[in-house]
Amino acid sequence: MNKRRFLNLMTGALASPLIAPLTTFAEGQPLKNWSGNLTYSTRQVDDASTVDQVRSIVRAQEKLKVLGTRHCFNAIADSSHHLLSLKPMHAIVALDAAARTVTVEPSVTYGQLGPYLDAKGFALHNLASLPHISVAGSITTATHGSGERNRNLSSSVSGLEIVTASGDLVTLSRKTDGETFRGAVVGLGALGVITRVTLDIEPTYKVRQYVYLDLPLEQVKEHFDQIQASGYSVSLFTDWQNRLISELWLKVRDDSPFAGPPEFLGAKLATRDLHPIENLSAENCTAQRGVPGPWYDRLPHFRMGFTPSAGAELQSEYLLPRRNAVDAILAVERLRDQITPHLLISEIRTIAADDLWMSTCYKQDSVAIHFTWKPDWPAVKRVLPVIERQLSTFQTRPHWGKLFTMNPRELRTRYEKLDDFVHLAAKYDPKGKFRNQFLDSTVFAT
Ligand SMILES: Cc1cc2nc3c(=O)[nH]c(=O)nc-3n(C[C@H](O)[C@H](O)[C@H](O)COP(=O)(O)OP(=O)(O)OC[C@H]3O[C@@H](n4cnc5c(N)ncnc54)[C@H](O)[C@@H]3O)c2cc1C
């Protein structure tokens, strides 16, 4: 099916709110991830609503994995033994205005947290493209937004409470636990069950969002740094054809002098709100055209209560050193005729370096090249190794929650703290209670 026909079929279905392809936890129903591409390998799911319940479930099970909001595309959250849902644990526990922190239960989503913080005069430094995801699931996989000075969402974590394999409760903080803390934040679900997270907050702010159409790739080549510096959060969307960035999304904070000129490096300011995927309804997207709004309703591309992205899709994303951004973008562009037939849209973002061991941005200012694919895994599985080979000289790190085919030996070379992480995981989980096939075949592969 060609891209236009696929999108036309999808458009009617996806314009309406709240039709995410979520399966329920109902008895007898197969339990799937958000996009429906993964059926979890067990139907044994426990719910926990208190830390004590978590502790007794952890003690009782030989092996288990925790579910967040199930937005990962790969099997990182899967278990063939037992799943634990912390859905009821979504309270905002405490806001400490003096320390500028907020402490939350693990399943609170950014969509729930944002308006709460804003009402109290506070904000987070950044958000991902969607607010629907849980804080614990996001921080443990190094989920990121965009902005050359913005680190990923995990970097906001200043404290963690974890139930370890023995059922003990461990608290870790940035202030007191140094390297152990830096190893634990992007924990990939391998250290235990996160039951509380403390996040840094800052005074609230407003954001204006502008979308530009048809930015020539030549301008990206010549002015990459200028483009990135133009917004607080910048996204370039392309299907890699015609040497064009089809949509450039610039999000600026209220104190920015950027006022949305009608033309930007040859691209034209959009005069209506748009979806990053051509032909899909902008109703699902946050307001554009420079209308100021609260940070939580502008930094994500997609609105809470509406289907983010396309819904029926797969995703992959590769992070690599920002200094190689232009070369890497041009290298992917050369693969356009292999990529585009299977693609809904690509997005290019930058993220600042951090010091979290398993972060995709560990010690590296990064560019992220993302692919939203049509839901055709056999085709995507064929094209991913081609992209990975093409980008291999740039030492890419695949997103922990998305699809990749890179072999574990290569993956291990991308994380200098990987052995330390394996030791840290063994300290909290000596028998591999929280390990699953995904972790065994990547991080823990020998
Ligand atoms: C439409 C869409 C858009 C996206 N956009 C972005 C984006 O802009 N940027 C980006 O970086 N990513 C993006 N993602 C990926 C997504 O943010 C990550 O995959 C994230 O992990 C999802 O969180 P979750 O709660 O759904 O995690 P899940 O898929 O439920 O779980 C992920 C991992 O977290 C673990 N986990 C969850 N809760 C706990 C807990 N309490 N204790 C211990 N471990 C736990 C699970 O066991 C698993 O290992 C997007 C995904 C979708 C579907």
Q: What is the pLDDT of residues 170-210, one digit of tens each?
A: 999 999 999 999 999 999 999 999 999 999 999 999 999 99
Q: What is the mean pLDDT of residues 335-352?
A: 98
Q: Any idea how long the chain is? A: 446
Residue 323's pLDDT band, with cuts at 50, 70 and 90, is very high
Is the CB of residue 211 below 6 angstroms from any atom belonging to ligand 1?
no
Indicate the burial class of 245 (C-beta count within 10 angstroms; 0-12, 13-18, 19 or more): buried
> Percent of the chain having pLDDT more than 90?
91
pLDDT of residue 172: 98
pLDDT of residue 326: 98
- Does 7 have pLDDT greater than 50? no
pLDDT of residue 6: 35
Rounded CA gap, 234 and 299, in Å? 10
* Sign of the C-alpha dihedral computed for residues 309, 345, 134 and 286 taken in this order: negative
- Does 443 have pLDDT greater than 60? yes
CA separation, residue 413 to residues 224, 345, 356, 405, 417 (Å) = 28, 29, 16, 15, 10
- Does 9 have pLDDT greater than 70? no
Q: Check: CB of residue 274 under 8 Å from CB of residue 247.
A: yes
pLDDT of residue 2: 40
pLDDT of residue 19: 26
Residue 446's pLDDT band, with cuts at 50, 70 and 90, is confident
440 Rama sector, left if φ>0, alpha if ψ -120 to 50, beta otherwise: alpha
In this structure, CATH architecture of domain 206-403: 2-Layer Sandwich (3.30)
Spatial CB neighbours of 282, under 8 Å, sequence gap ≥ 6: 272, 273, 274, 275, 288
What are the domain boundaries of the chain? 3-85, 92-203, 206-403
In this structure, CATH architecture of domain 92-203: 2-Layer Sandwich (3.30)
Spatial CB neighbours of 409, under 8 Å, sequence gap ≥ 6: 445
Q: Check: CB of residue 318 under 8 Å from CB of residue 396.
A: yes
Q: Please choose, from the candidates 185, 187, 209, 210, the residue with its C-alpha nearest in 3D space to the C-alpha of residue 198.
A: 185
Which residue's CA is the closest to the ligand 1 atom numbered 27?
Answer: 137
* Angle value at C-alpha 142, between 139 and 148, nearest 5 degrees: 115
Q: What is the mean pLDDT of residues 366-395?
A: 98
Question: Mean pLDDT over all residues of the chain?
Answer: 93
Is the CB of residue 69 below 6 angstroms from any atom belonging to ligand 1?
yes
pLDDT of residue 311: 84
Residue 20's pLDDT band, with cuts at 50, 70 and 90, is very low
Q: pLDDT tens-digit profile of 71-99?
A: 999 999 999 999 999 999 999 999 999 99
Angle at which helices 217-229 and 325-333 pack, to 10 degrees? 150
Q: pLDDT tens-digit profile of 125-151?
A: 999 999 999 999 999 999 999 999 999
**Which tokens belong to 155?**
């970097």
pLDDT of residue 310: 79
3-state secondary structure of 416: coil
Is the CB of residue 137 below 6 angstroms from any atom belonging to ligand 1?
yes
**Buried residues in 316-350 as b, exposed as e (16+ CB within 10 A):** bbbbbbbebbbebbebbbebbeebeebbbbbbbbb
Strands (E), 312-434: 314-321, 343-351, 366-373, 397-398
Ligand 1 centroid–CA 222 distance in Å is: 34
Rounded CA gap, 203 and 166, in Å? 39
Q: What is the mean pLDDT of residues 236-255?
A: 97
Instruction: Residue 233: count other Cβ atoms within 10 Å of its Cβ.
Output: 27
Ligand 1 centroid–CA 65 distance in Å is: 13
Is the CB of residue 86 below 6 angstroms from any atom belonging to ligand 1?
yes
Ligand 1 centroid–CA 216 distance in Å is: 33
Hey, do 92-203 and 206-403 end up sharing a CATH topology, with the first three levels equal?
Answer: no
Q: Please choose, from the candidates 86, 98, 77, 2, the residue with its C-alpha nearest in 3D space to the C-alpha of residue 46.
A: 86
Spatial CB neighbours of 420, under 8 Å, sequence gap ≥ 6: 179, 183, 357
Is the CB of residue 276 below 6 angstroms from any atom belonging to ligand 1?
no
Ligand 1 centroid–CA 137 distance in Å is: 4
Indicate the burial class of 423 (C-beta count within 10 angstroms; 0-12, 13-18, 19 or more): exposed
Is the CB of residue 280 below 6 angstroms from any atom belonging to ligand 1?
no
Q: What is the mean pLDDT of residues 359-368?
A: 98
pLDDT of residue 18: 28
Closest ligand 1 atom to the C-alpha of 134? Answer: 25
pTM listed for this prediction: 0.94
**Strand pairing category for 293-294 and 83-85:** unpaired
- What number does CATH give the domain 3-85? 3.30.43.10
* Sign of the C-alpha dihedral computed for residues 235, 240, 241 and 244 taken in this order: positive
- Does 115 have pLDDT greater than 70? yes
* Sign of the C-alpha dihedral computed for residues 280, 286, 290 and 291 taken in this order: positive
pLDDT of residue 123: 98
- Does 329 have pLDDT greater than 80? yes
Q: pLDDT tens-digit profile of 27-67?
A: 567 899 999 999 999 999 999 999 999 999 999 999 999 99
Ligand 1 centroid–CA 378 distance in Å is: 23
